[in-house]
Every structure is written in structure tokens, then in C-alpha cells.
Chain A
Amino acid sequence: MPAPRRILFHWSFLIVAALIPLIELVLPGHPRIGDLLRPIFIMAMLGLGLNILTGFTGQLNLGVAAFMAVGAYSYAILTCDIYPFRLGFWSATALTVLVGLTVGLFLGLPTIRLRGDYLAIVTLGFGEIVEDVLKNLDSITKGTQGINPLPGPSWFGYHFHAETYQPWYYLFLGFLAVLVLLNRNLQRSRVGRAWISIREDELASSCMGVNPMKMKLLAFALGAAQCSLAGALWASYLGSSGEPGNYDFQVSIIALCIVIVGGMGNVGGVLLGALVIMGFNSIVLETVTNFLKAHQLISSSNVFTAPGNWKYMLYGLALILMMRFRPEGLLPSRQFKAEVHPNEPHSPPTS
């Protein structure tokens, strides 16, 4: 068992996160922090999916946005009432995860023997292909309009509305918490160990009896499934599949930034990365812009003075600085301290 203090530490995060919609009622001005956190949760899920592939297994994937698009569009097709399926939120989400799993396998199988840059190029191409297919498969995906409107989820007779965000907040928090738990469990098991060993040294790993092809395929399938779950939740939150352009290369790169800035191969790091990168985007930039506007320091006619337009420039700068001063990320994967202390006699489990 991990030390009780560590468990307490982790639970306290969840409790604070659960209290945020209540805290903001007390704060002056009732800031909608929870509302701003929702897209961060979604991107954190996307980052977790990519982390399995790139962080644990070391397979650079530049096309995770495509998995997200597959998830969003499958969810939209399964729930929207212009199609005959009209499933509910839960069954549609479950099916979407299965679709993501299959798509991950389909991309993983032909690329099974590719490594490093070559795999990155193939996944980059895959991202572009999916976007183009969605644009051009008019009768199924409605081309560039996207599929809408989608019905909101419901939970024991309660229907989610766009106006009240709190139920959404808890829904996403719940999904994120479950994903974090599953990812950590996997990381600390035989599966995670095999993934990390492939990242460290694939040849040595196979000489120890690990089948690298099988483990890479598994990483592809599970990573894609998580990304498509993020896509499905994103679509249900937007009430629309979004247009294909929403799932372009930029989204993949932001997901990669989240993993790199947070700390490759560390679940907690990915969460922090999502908070930093997305929080910078939707909270810091927004606040600065509003502040400057309120004090008439910028004019809307001059595009160079709006901080939002410098976004990618600032991302780039942040990445360069990270690579120079802290290449291992903000929260690097601290190898899980082995749970058995060598100096203590080991007691067998009581059964």
C-alpha cells in the first residue's frame, strides 16, 4: 500500500476540485472557475490518452486530435436525432470508447514496426486524413457544418442543460478521476512496467520476454480509447460534434505540450500540464485582455496588441524555455518508490 499520507494528499486534490463550484459562491463577484475548468478537464483526458502512448511507451504520436474527432463524431452520430440510432448518453459513450479502441488498433497494426520519427510522420498524416474525411463525407458527417444539436446527458431522470454548468462539472470531474485512477493502476502494474521498459530500451525489453508489438498495440488501443472518450464528452458539452477544423494539428500539438510541460509519463504531471497550458489560454490570457481593455491600454483595431493573438508565440517561448531549463517537465515521473522497504521484513498478505 502507498503511504497513507500520500493517499490523503491525492484525495485532497479531488475534494478541493469537488468543492470549487461551492467555493466560488462565497468569493466576491462569483467567478465561474468551475465553468472555466471544464475544457481543462477534457484536455487533461486527451493528455492522459497521449501520455499512455508517448509518456509511457515512448511512441511519439502527432495525431491524437484525430482520435478525439473520431470520438466526437461517433458520439454525435449515435445520439443526434437526425440519425436513426438516438442512443442515450451512457450507451453512446460506451460505444464511442469501443470505436476509439478499434480505430487505435487499426492505426497501430500497420505501424507496428515503425519507430520514432517515422511513426510521428504516419500519425501526423493520419490526423490530416481523418480531418479531410470528415470534411468530405458529406452525407454522414454533414461536412463542415458539424452534427448538431445533440441532446444533453441525463442521470436518473435529471437532464443536463447548457445553462447550469455544475452538473457538467461533476460529470467531467468524475470521468477524469476514474481515468486517473485507471491510468495510475496500469502504470504501477506489469503492464505499465512493460510499457516503460519499451520506452527505455525496446531491445532489452524484448530480450526479457516482453512482446513489444503486443504492448504497443495495447498502448495504441487504450490511448485512442481515452482520447475518443474526451472527444465524446467534448461533443456532449458543446451540443455539437464541432466542425472538422476543430480537430486539427493544433489540438494534437497542444495535447503534446500538455504531456511535455507536465512531465512525460506522469499522470499527475499531465493534469498539471493541462491546468498550466489550458489555464494560461482560457484564464490568464482572458483576464489580461479584459484588464487591458478596461484600462483602455489596447484598441481592438490593432491586432498586435491583443494578448490572445500572441498565444502560440507564447506557447513556443514556453516550450523553448522548458526544454532549456527543465526538459523533464514540471512534475517529472518520479519513479514510484518500491512499496517494500528492503530493510523491513516482508510480511505475507493475510488471506
Chain B
Amino acid sequence: MNILEISDLTVRFGGLTAVNSVSLDIPAKEIVSVIGPNGAGKTTLFNAITGIYDPTNGRICFNGEEARRPFRWTTALTLALVGLIAGLSLVLIVNVEPLWDTAITSNYTYQQTFLWSNAVSAASNYFGELPIQRFVVPFLIGGLVGLAGALAIWHRTRRAPEVAARAGIARTFQNIRLFNQMTALDNVLLGMDSQLRTSVWHAALRLPLYWRERDEAVQRAMDILRFVDLDRDANQLAENLSYGHQRRLEIARALAMQPRLLLLDEPAAGMNPAEAQELMKLIHDIRDRGITVLLIEHHMQVVMGISDHIAVLDHGEKIAEGNPEAVRSNPKVIEAYLGKES
């Protein structure tokens, strides 16, 4: 069964085609590598999968469906509500002073009792006699601007990174992007964010749910840190960790999301052979937990050592695919890496 199906994916930036109709199926619970020379479009592919870039063309199906916000009736209702509120606000802003005068000031004498019913009826009279340019026009302008703005924001965040993340796709970055001013433990706890149910009220007032959930979360986070062998550094700020530890912490943070698919963008970059060996073992362990791993890597020793399946990109196009042996002997791949024999 395929966990991720990329069909005919194209990502274009202006005139530059970074990924050109690439189709790729990722079978579940396997380790799949994407390799290729620099600038082949590997990271762009990752960014499209995780919702950072919108594909120009093509589909990315995760678990059989596209990872994007569904359009439900609540969405339509929210959009309509935003438009309505914006329109009514503009009407109110345009009319605020005369409305205040008729409803409040003229019905109130200093320190006498104030009858709300008079104010309400005065206000409704005011709106009843309102000329069209002070009611319908501002309502339409405000409503349209509000609706258009809300629609634009909804549309642009439809395929947002957090949507892909909540669907179960976790990733690490080519240039490490940890939260430097947070401890290692907090970095991992942040990865769990989508599984926590503590709301602002629970947190601000420290209701029982907060304590219960915090204890569970810290315990799980420590388990994950132990899994990547970082439990002794739990209280260190992320920026104070060594490079190799930062790489592992990034993987731990991604694992904390309990993903079904883990994207690793050059995890072995800058590692010595011994560290690379450790990393390979770690990736194997992750796969054995039932998580599909998709990785970009230049370290051929790592790629050939752990991949079940390899896809080769060059100039944004997929030029080869198959098991390590087949890819290694593929003439197109050799040409892409070493150039053509003349």
C-alpha cells in the first residue's frame, strides 16, 4: 500500500521550473531516498509535500487524500460571518456619532434613570430613516472587503504546513531549524503540540487537565529523547547543543508529532563516518516503529546502505527509480552525477 502518491507534480517559480511533472509512490513502512545533484529540486519536492509551497500542477495524496483544509459548511459560515461583521462595523463607524446622539444623549438627562427601551427604539428609528448611502453602501463595501480578505487568507492557507503536519507528515530541515532559545525538552514538547488538549483557560488557571497532560507529555518527551540518546541534554538550550546532537534533536522533535511519514532533508550532512553509521541505525529503528521514512541525502554510503527504494531527480525531473543496485548501475544516473563520456 502506498502512503504517499505524488502524481504529475510541477512547481514553478516565475519562469523557473523547480520540479517538472514528477510522479512518485512511497510504499508504507519503507525507507525511500531521493537523490540527485544540487539544484535538482529535491528540497522543493519536500516543501511541496509539507505544504510550504503550493504545487503549480499535480496532486499530492497522503493516505489517499490531499492534505489540505476541507471546505465544509462551517468554513462558509465563518467566511460569511467575517463579511457580515466587517460590513456592520463599517455601517456603525460611519453612523456612530449621530446614532449615539439620538439613542443615548437625547434620552438621558444627567443622573436620571435611563430607559434602554427608549434607546433601542430611537436607534431602530434612526436605522429605519437612514438614507441609502449611509447604510447600504458602507455595508456592501465593508462586507465585500471583509469577505474577500477572509477568502484570500483561507485560500492561501488552505494547504498550509500545519495542515500537512496535523495529517501526519513530519520533517526536518536541510539547515537545522530548531527553536534555539528553547530547551531540548521544550523543542520535543512543541512537536507534541497537536496532540495536546490544554486550552488557554486550562493553562492560565492551571486546571487539573493542565497538570495531568503536562506530566504525561514530559514523560513521553523524555522517552523520545532517550530514543535518540539525548536524555542527558534535556535541559540544554537547543543552540548550545553540538551539531550532531542538534540533528538528532530535530529528528526527535519530528518523532514527537507521532507522524506516519517522516521526511529527512540531508540528515547525514556534515557527519563523520561513525556518526553516519549511528544515524543509519536510528533511521532503521524509526522504520521499525512503523514510520515511513523519505530522505534526501548526498552521502552515498548512507543512501545505498539503508534505502529500500531510490528515486533520482535531475533538473526537476525524475530520471530513474528502483532498488539501490538498479539505480547504481543506471547509465542516466551515472551521467547526471559524472557527466557524459565524450
Q: Do A and B come from one complex?
A: yes
A interface with B by C-beta (< 8 Å): 81-84, 106, 109-110, 112-113, 137-140, 182, 185-186, 189-194, 196-197, 199-201, 203-213, 218, 222, 333, 335-343, 346, 348-349, 351
Q: 11 pairs across A/B with beta carbons < 8 Å?
A: A83-B104, A106-B89, A189-B198, A190-B203, A193-B193, A200-B179, A207-B164, A209-B166, A336-B183, A339-B218, A348-B215
Identify B182's interface contact among A81, A207, A335, CB under 8 A: A335
* Known contacts A208-B257, A338-B235; A194 and B193 CB within 8 A of each other: yes
Interface string of B216-234 (1 = CB under 8 A from A): 0011001001000001101
* Known contacts A137-B97, A191-B203; A338 and B165 CB within 8 A of each other: no
Roughly how many angstroms separate A210 CA and B166 CA in the complex, as a whole number? 9
Q: How far is the CB of B17 from chain A (nearest CB, A)?
A: 23
B126 at the binding interface (Cβ < 8 Å): no
CB-CB under 8 A from A182, the residues of chain B are 204-205
Roughly how many angstroms separate A209 CA and B108 CA in the complex, as a whole number? 53
Asked if B234 and A207 make an inter-chain contact with CB atoms under 8 angstroms apart, the answer reads no
Identify A210's interface contact among B89, B149, B157, B193, CB under 8 A: B193
Considering the complex, give the chain B residue whose CB is closest to the CB of A137.
B97
Give how many B residues have a beta carbon under 8 Å from the other chain's beta carbons: 68
Asked if B222 and A340 make an inter-chain contact with CB atoms under 8 angstroms apart, the answer reads yes
B206 at the binding interface (Cβ < 8 Å): yes
CB-CB under 8 A from A197, the residues of chain B are 179, 182, 190
Q: How far is the CB of B281 from chain A (nearest CB, A)?
A: 22
B interface with A by C-beta (< 8 Å): 50, 52, 82, 89, 96-97, 100-101, 104-105, 107-108, 110-111, 114, 119, 149, 153, 156-157, 160-162, 164-166, 170-171, 173, 177-183, 185-186, 189-191, 193-194, 196, 198, 200, 202-206, 210-212, 214-215, 218-219, 222, 225, 231-232, 234-235, 237, 253-254, 257
Asked if B234 and A210 make an inter-chain contact with CB atoms under 8 angstroms apart, the answer reads no
Roughly how many angstroms separate A178 CA and B173 CA in the complex, as a whole number? 40
Asked if B162 and A186 make an inter-chain contact with CB atoms under 8 angstroms apart, the answer reads no
Considering the complex, give the chain B residue whose CB is closest to the CB of A81.
B111
Asked if A207 and B52 make an inter-chain contact with CB atoms under 8 angstroms apart, the answer reads yes
Roughly how many angstroms separate A113 CA and B222 CA in the complex, as a whole number? 35
Roughly how many angstroms separate A199 CA and B152 CA in the complex, as a whole number? 24
CB-CB under 8 A from B203, the residues of chain A are 185-186, 189-192
CB-CB under 8 A from A203, the residues of chain B are 52, 161, 177
CB-CB under 8 A from A110, the residues of chain B are 149
CB-CB under 8 A from A208, the residues of chain B are 165, 170, 190-191, 193-194, 253-254, 257
Asked if A204 and B237 make an inter-chain contact with CB atoms under 8 angstroms apart, the answer reads no
Considering the complex, give the chain A residue whose CB is closest to the CB of B197.
A190
Asked if A84 and B107 make an inter-chain contact with CB atoms under 8 angstroms apart, the answer reads yes
Query: Which 6 A-B pairs give the minimum distances between C-beta atoms?
Result: A189-B203, A84-B114, A209-B194, A209-B165, A200-B179, A206-B161
CB-CB under 8 A from A207, the residues of chain B are 50, 52, 161-162, 164-165, 170-171
CB-CB under 8 A from A82, the residues of chain B are 110
Asked if A196 and B182 make an inter-chain contact with CB atoms under 8 angstroms apart, the answer reads yes
CB-CB under 8 A from A341, the residues of chain B are 235
CB-CB under 8 A from A336, the residues of chain B are 183, 186
Roughly how many angstroms separate A137 CA and B101 CA in the complex, as a whole number? 11
* Known contacts A82-B110, A338-B235; A209 and B193 CB within 8 A of each other: yes
Q: How far is the CB of A334 from chain B (nearest CB, A)?
A: 10
Roughly how many angstroms separate A20 CA and B290 CA in the complex, as a whole number? 62
Q: How far is the CB of B171 from chain A (nearest CB, A)?
A: 6
Roughly how many angstroms separate A194 CA and B189 CA in the complex, as a whole number? 10
* Known contacts A140-B96, A342-B232, A346-B218; A190 and B206 CB within 8 A of each other: no
Q: How far is the CB of B33 from chain A (nearest CB, A)?
A: 21
